[in-house]
Chains A and B, each alone.
Chain A
Amino acid sequence: MRTAVAPLLLALAAACGEQATPRALLDDATPQGFPAGSLTQRAPAENALTEARAQLGRRLFFDARLSRTNDVSCATCHQQAHAFSDPAPVSTGVDGQLGQRNAPALVNLAWDAAFFWDGRARSLEEQAGMPIENPLEMDLPLADAVARVAADAAYARAFAGAYGGAPTQETLRFALASFVRALVSADSAYDRHLRGDDADFGEDARRGAELFFSERAACFHCHPPGSLTNGGYFNNGTYVEGGDRGRQALTGRTGDLGKFKVPGLRNVAASAPYMHDGSLPDLAAVVDLYDKGGRGHPSTDPQIQPLGLTAAEKADLVAFLRALTDDRFLTDRRFSAP
């Protein structure tokens, strides 16, 4: 009798222990085929990644007090169910103002080297403060954001624990960056396929992947295997005369007209609409645009050419893009509002 009870008691104790201890926000999951460096290794020395910092950043991410009007948080425009993007073409900031570009998905950014569609931020730490201060987004000077946070005793304790002192503009940005850095998606059907598990990688996705990584569709020229982004800037045919100049507005270079940063594609099926302007409503529209060779502006990259895809091939490409969805990431409570 005793020998039967003991394992049962141990199992019950283990279950109780699991419920009492929430799962850490940081883990060792690394998407397949990404550049070297674990999640913590990718963090800069001045903002080493810790659980405390990521959790603090999570609270700030969902806190609307970081906007002038107290009703817009980072999560307002970066919604987890949409891979931390916005289901609207452009986002709505304070006072109902519309932004200028589609809110990009926040997925696996620990392995990116530049941020925003035009790459103007060279680190997550640099990026984190910009939407807070942007008049169209949250419209709150960082100094004011810090003052609001510092007045909250719970935040004061959390900052002391994470950064050893009272909140500053720097540590506020650092904490947000730590949370965004922790948003790792590594369990899509494609990831499992790369690990040798094809249980959820159907024939249509497999045909789509073959086409995606062939010179016929040539998607890999910008979206290589594994990471699905080469981190470069290309004019993929979405630019139209008089439209958003993209990276050229930053560099002034003639050849940068209409160039935007190549996004990663994990969870792309959840982050509609697409492109820098949110002008493409669904994945079929994306495939159609590339099939046509873009919108025809002379600045379009020469690699963007009409593809002559059949309806079946288009469907296969969409199936592959859907296989990049990591349902666990989209619902993981570690990344949800605290």
Chain B
Amino acid sequence: MTPIPRVLVLLLATMAGCQGSHAANPWMTGGGGQGGADGAVSDGAAGAASIDAASDAGDIPEVAPASCVEAPAALHAGASALSLPIETVLGGKPVVFGEPNDLPGGGTVIPLNFRFYVSHVALIDPNSARIPVDLVDAHDALEPYGVHLFVDTDEASHALRIHAPPGSYAGIELVLGIDDGCNSSPPAGKHEPLGPDSQMVWPMGFGYLFLRFEGQLAGAADAGAPPNVIHMGGFPGLLFAPTVTITGPFTIAARVDSMRKVRLDLGAVFQGAATPLAPSTAGTSVTPPDDPGYRLREHAPQVPLFTFAP
């Protein structure tokens, strides 16, 4: 894979501002990191721009005019519905947002602000084929822009709902974030969940955040503390939202609503955000930014962020 040009890393480094990265951390899996061993960027679900498009002259690369359709066309009109309530857990216990939660390594964390985008949901059939589905709201209306925003303080947002063909499936694939078309288009004039009040809007040219976490740590030793600020985003035309998979069998009934509970492991989020990335070994000797958000973006496809609840 193409290594990251130095200028791009420097640009990304200016985006880093997070606190709480620690060495010798139980959230880490080891010095080599879990993914992106050469420091290269893994493609997300959408967007075909190559890293080579980054200009070594230092300019922000030109991005083709992006499209971000507020009212996407339904893929499965009149199809069956599957609800996916999301329970956020930490150390196997349900997370209580806004309150102290025990950290497995000792101490507590109070999630102060936790939100993330989900888009481009697809079902995985027994033959591993991907079947894109419609993301809908609780009233079965298509989610604007095909995007769902999970917000800690809004319990109604703690469930995904999709319209899909009935049948038996082996898993779900989703983009933890938004596609490049939406990430490249300005938030001004957008409705929820892509408007400026989403708290996911970052300065012009840098796109949106895909996941935002801020928390208050107490009693956690430095060596055992997770990052208390995780701002995971991408870069229009260059760095894309990660695709994650939830593996496990389930069935969508015909003409009757189905449900399958999902668990989001906050510990896995911390793990992904705390695990260092290996320096690039492809000739540039550039070290990826020491940024929890960047690390999480790189590790997200590999860490078990989402699982089906038993």
Contact = CB atoms under 8 A, between A and B. Distances in A.
Interface stretch (A123-131, A219-227, A322-330): A219-227
Contacts of A216: 14, 17
A47 interface: no
Contact of B214 (A213, A224, A231, A303): A303
B188 A254 contact: no
B228 A36 contact: no
Contact of B228 (A113, A226, A302): A302
Max chain B CB contacts within 10 Å: which of A214, A227, A298, A303?
Answer: A303
Nearest to B227: A302
B199 A232 contact: yes
B24 to A, nearest CB: 21
A255 B16 contact: no
B190 A36 contact: yes
Contact of B98 (A214, A220, A256): A256
Contact of A224 (B203, B216, B229): B203
B112 interface: yes
Interface stretch (A27-35, A75-83, A88-96): A27-35
B65 interface: no
A254 B14 contact: no
A237 B97 CA distance: 21
Contacts of A254: 98-100, 110
B15 interface: yes
Given A215-B14, A215-B15, A255-B111, A224 B98 contact: no
A217 to B, nearest CB: 9
A234 B97 CA distance: 15
A225 B198 contact: no
A338 interface: no
**Is chain A's interface secondary structure helix, strand, loop, or mixed overall?**
loop
B235 to A, nearest CB: 14
Contacts of B72: none
A333 to B, nearest CB: 29
A37 interface: yes
Given A35-B196, A232-B199, A301 B19 contact: no
Contacts of A251: 98
Contacts of A37: 191
A145 B202 CA distance: 45
A50 interface: no
Contacts of B198: 230
Max chain B CB contacts within 10 Å: which of A32, A216, A302?
Answer: A302
| Category for how many chain A residues contact B | 20 to 34
A34 B196 contact: yes
B197 interface: yes
B187 interface: yes
Contact of B216 (A32, A214, A299): A299
B15 A34 contact: no
Nearest to A112: B197
Contacts of A229: 196-197
B113 interface: yes
Contacts of A218: 17
A2 interface: no
Nearest to A30: B189
Contacts of B20: 302
Interface in A241-265: 251, 253-256
Contacts of B188: 32-34, 226
Contact of B189 (A35, A225, A231, A234): A35
A197 to B, nearest CB: 17
A40 interface: no
Nearest to B17: A215
A303 B228 CA distance: 9
A219 B20 CA distance: 19
B14 A214 contact: yes
A121 to B, nearest CB: 16
Given A36-B191, A214-B14, A255 B201 contact: no
A335 B302 CA distance: 57
Nearest to A194: B188
Contacts of A230: 196-199, 201
B204 interface: yes
B219 to A, nearest CB: 11
B195 interface: yes
A302 B187 contact: no
B215 interface: yes
A303 B199 contact: no
20 contacts: A33-B188, A35-B191, A35-B195, A35-B196, A36-B190, A36-B191, A36-B195, A215-B14, A225-B201, A229-B196, A230-B196, A235-B112, A253-B98, A254-B98, A254-B100, A255-B98, A255-B111, A256-B98, A301-B112, A303-B17
Interface of A: 32-37, 113, 213-216, 218, 220, 224-227, 229-232, 234-235, 251, 253-256, 298-299, 301-303, 305
Counting from the closest, the 8 A-B pairs by CB-CB distance are: A253-B98, A215-B17, A35-B195, A231-B197, A255-B98, A33-B188, A213-B203, A224-B201
